[in-house]
């Protein structure tokens, strides 16, 4: 199995690009953000715990998302691999992912990182807020918290995967098709 990490700040285009990637490479898309939003919509206990954190622009506890990832790996069959969107997001999550994969003698195949500047994050998320109405897109304050959370807790993963020889970065500025072309060029190598 191949395990691709789709990395990047909020609003970089991870969800947008994931659709074509999973189709072209026969992968199963796992977005921890989308899974958490589903739990919130269903009003589960987990959803209730996650709601306030997400709507303030903070991360949910590592164990919560680690459990979600492992159960998706175990339950999904018939694909050539997984596309992890929004996971891992902290160093402990990256270490937990390595440990989960080590149980079956597997490892992360590659990280594909979509990079855009902070000003563009704000612009794109505000645009999406008009269409999708996500609660964590609702104010500049929340978006700024998410940007700060990314820089403080998630950005250190760039060094982690660079050291592991698994980091590939592309420029996320450009049309959706241009960005997709850059991503496919990297994915074709694996």
> Which of 1, 2, 15, 109 forms a contact with Mg ion (CB under 5 A)?
15
Side-chain half-sphere exposure of 4, counting CA atoms within 13 A: 28
Q: Yes or no: say if 170 and 111 are a contact pair by the CB < 8 Å rule.
A: no
14 versus 146: smaller Cβ distance to Mg ion: 14
Question: Active site includes 166?
Answer: no
Question: Residue 85 in 3-state DSSP?
Answer: strand
12 belongs to the binding site for ligand AP5 (CB under 6 A): yes
- Reply yes or no on whether 51 is catalytic: no
Among 36, 83, 96, 112, binds ligand AP5 (CB under 6 A): 36
Is residue 21 a contact point for ligand AP5 (CB under 6 A)?
Answer: no
**Residue (105 or 128) nearer to ligand AP5, CB:** 128
Is the torsion defined by CA of 111, 117, 119, 120 positive or negative?
negative
Q: Quick one: 8 or 168, whose CB is closer to ligand AP5?
A: 8
Q: How many CB atoms lie within 10 A of CB 173?
A: 14
Q: Is 89 a catalytic residue?
A: yes
By CB under 6 A, name the one of 1, 2, 15, 92 that touches ligand AP5. 15
Q: Which is nearer to ligand AP5, 22 or 179 (CB)?
A: 179
Distance separating alpha carbons of residues 114 and 76, to the nearest angstrom = 26
Number of helices (H), then strands (E), belonging to the chain: the values are 9, 5
DSSP letter for 136, please. Answer: G
Stretch 59-88: interaction string toward ligand AP5, x if CB under 6 A = xx----x--------------------xx-
Query: Can you list the alpha helix ranges (DSSP code H) found in 76-189?
Result: 91-102, 118-132, 140-149, 156-163, 176-187
Q: How far are the Cα atoms of 18, 66, 126 from residue 143, in angstroms, in the given order?
A: 22, 24, 9
Region from 12-20, 42-50, 64-72, 107-115 binding Mg ion, contact rule CB under 5 A = 12-20
Minimal CB distance residue for ligand AP5 = 33
Minimum gap (Å) between residue 135 Cβ and ligand AP5? 10
What residue ranges bind Mg ion (CB under 5 A)?
14-15
Indicate which residues carry an active-site annotation. 14, 89, 128, 134, 146
């Amino acid at each position: 199995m191949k395990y691709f990490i789709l990395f990047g700040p909020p609003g970089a285009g991870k969800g947008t690009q994931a659709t074509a990637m999973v189709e072209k490479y026969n992968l199963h898309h796992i977005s921890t953000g989308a899974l958490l939003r589903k739990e919130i919509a269903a009003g589960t206990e987990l959803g209730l715990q996650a709601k306030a954190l997400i709507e303030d622009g903070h991360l949910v506890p590592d164990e919560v998302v680690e459990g979600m990832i492992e159960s998706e790996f175990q339950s999904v069959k018939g694909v050539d691999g997984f596309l992890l969107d929004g996971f891992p997001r902290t160093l402990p999550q990256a270490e937990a992912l390595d440990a989960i994969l080590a149980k079956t003698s597997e490892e992360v195949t590659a990280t594909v990182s979509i990079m855009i500047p902070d000003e563009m994050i704000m612009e794109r998320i505000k645009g999406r807020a008009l269409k999708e109405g996500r609660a964590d897109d609702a104010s500049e304050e929340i978006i700024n918290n998410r940007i700060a959370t990314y820089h403080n807790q998630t950005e250190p993963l760039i060094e982690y995967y660079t050291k592991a020889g698994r980091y590939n970065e592309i420029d996320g500025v450009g049309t959706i098709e241009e960005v997709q072309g850059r991503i496919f060029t990297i994915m074709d190598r694996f």
